């Protein structure tokens, strides 16, 4: 893989996951010599110590997952940037496909849990229904054909990230990306992705609070 690749990983109390994730990333795409950027929300556990010991560059951000990703974009150097969760929900085996989509000329490549052989072991009934509703709403309002909206396993060209100029500091950032990419006419590819159950630790997303944030992002971008 000739391109330079940065992987941006937001973390909050992921000490039970981060070493395993970094090991698997390096195993999968060793040849790409990826730059690994961890942006930590001031974890109270050993996340940062473990990330540094396993070769990641660590930065801090206090505002939320979206804000951590934005910080990661500004600190990263790669021509291709991948967003990846720390909890082992996103399979490192899918990295090559996300990267090669950008190398072959797409601006954005989005993993989708609801496309083809994609799926999820990690999504509750309520969250699945919420996801379907938001996908329908965005496609109806913006004329897009997305099969997934709120999933964070995605890759980007540097150019696309500069155009997107992201601002959402919380879990609304994926929705912001999907809407802006459609409105800007970016070349987007969705690929099937399988979301595994969070390995260790506790999820930070709260369905009602974050559902309302996502709804507000959908409405304010009209
Ligand atoms: N820096 C930072 N990272 C965060 C914050 N909230 C969540 N994250 C990270 O963002 C990623 C996604 O968060 P999760 O808590 O796994 O959200 P989720 O996948 O919707 O929830 P689960 O299905 O329960 O895992 C993980 O790597 C978290 O550690 C935050 O406030 N700051
Ligand atoms: Mg998770």
Rounded Cα distance, 158 and 114, in Å:
26
Q: What strands, in cross-sheet order, belong to the sheet with 154-157?
A: 57-60, 35-40, 5-11, 80-83, 154-157, 108-112, 188-192
pLDDT range class, residue 142, cuts 50, 70, 90:
very high
CB under 8 Å to 8, separation ≥6 — which residues?
A: 37, 39, 69, 72, 73, 76, 81, 82, 83, 84
For residue 196, count other CB atoms closer than 10 A to its CB: 14
Q: What is the pLDDT of residue 2?
A: 40
- On the CB side of 100, how many CA atoms lie within 13 Å of its CA? 8
pLDDT range class, residue 163, cuts 50, 70, 90:
very high
Query: What percent of the chain stands above pLDDT 70?
Result: 99
> Does residue 1 have a pLDDT over 60?
no
pLDDT tens digit sequence for 18-54: 999 999 999 999 888 999 999 999 999 999 999 999 9
Question: Is-contact 195 89, C-beta < 8 A?
Answer: yes
- Tell me the pairing of strands 119-120 and 194-195: parallel
Closest to 155 (Cα-Cα) out of 73, 41, 46, 42: 73
* Cα 186 to averaged position of ligand 2 atoms, centre (Å): 27
- Computed over every residue of the chain, the mean pLDDT equals 96
Q: 16 in ligand 1 pocket by Cβ < 6 Å?
A: no
Residues in the chain: 222
Q: 200 in ligand 1 pocket by Cβ < 6 Å?
A: no
Rounded Cα distance, 200 and 34, in Å:
24
Give the least confident one: 28-32, 33-37, 112-116, 117-121: 28-32
Residue of 64, 202, 204 with the most ligand 1 atoms within 8 Å of its CB, for mutation: 204
> How large is the average pLDDT for residues 111-123?
97
> How large is the average pLDDT for residues 93-110?
98
* Cα 200 to averaged position of ligand 2 atoms, centre (Å): 10
* Cα 39 to averaged position of ligand 1 atoms, centre (Å): 11
For residue 71, count other CB atoms closer than 10 A to its CB: 20
pLDDT range class, residue 152, cuts 50, 70, 90:
very high
Assigned architecture for domain 5-220: Alpha-Beta Complex (3.90)
Rounded Cα distance, 175 and 70, in Å:
14
Model pTM greater than 0.85? yes
pLDDT tens digit sequence for 183-222: 999 999 999 999 999 999 999 999 999 999 999 999 999 8
Q: What is the pLDDT of residue 65?
A: 98
Would you tell me the crossing angle of helices 65-75 and 173-183 to the nearest 10 degrees? 60
Ligand closest to Cα of 171 equals 1
Domain ranges of the chain: 5-220
Q: 86 in ligand 1 pocket by Cβ < 6 Å?
A: yes
Q: 88 in ligand 1 pocket by Cβ < 6 Å?
A: no
Residue 162 CB-density burial (10 A; 0-12 exposed, 13-18 middle, 19+ buried): exposed
């Amino acid at each position: 893989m000739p391109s330079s690749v940065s992987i941006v990983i937001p973390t909050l109390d992921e000490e039970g996951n981060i070493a395993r994730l970094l090991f698997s990333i390096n195993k999968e795409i060793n040849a790409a010599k990826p730059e690994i950027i961890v942006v930590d929300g001031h974890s109270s556990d050993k996340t940062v110590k473990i990330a540094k010991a396993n070769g990641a560059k660590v930065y801090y951000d206090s505002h939320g997952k979206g804000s951590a990703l934005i910080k990661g974009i500004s600190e990263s150097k790669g021509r291709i940037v991948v967003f990846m969760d720390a909890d082992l929900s996103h399979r490192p085996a899918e990295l090559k496909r996300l990267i090669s989509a950008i190398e072959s000329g797409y601006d954005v490549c989005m993993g989708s849990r609801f496309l083809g052989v994609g799926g999820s072991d990690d999504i509750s009934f309520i969250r699945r229904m919420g996801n379907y509703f938001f996908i329908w709403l965005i496609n109806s309002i913006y004329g897009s054909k997305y099969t997934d909206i709120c999933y964070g396993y995605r890759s980007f060209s540097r150019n696309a990230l500069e155009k997107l100029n992201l601002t959402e500091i919380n879990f609304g950032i994926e929705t912001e990306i999907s809407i802006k990419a459609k409105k800007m006419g970016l070349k987007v590819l969705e690929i099937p992705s399988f979301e595994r159950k969070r390995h260790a630790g506790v999820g930070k997303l709260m369905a009602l609070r974050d559902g309302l944030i996502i709804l507000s992002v959908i409405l304010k971008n009209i």
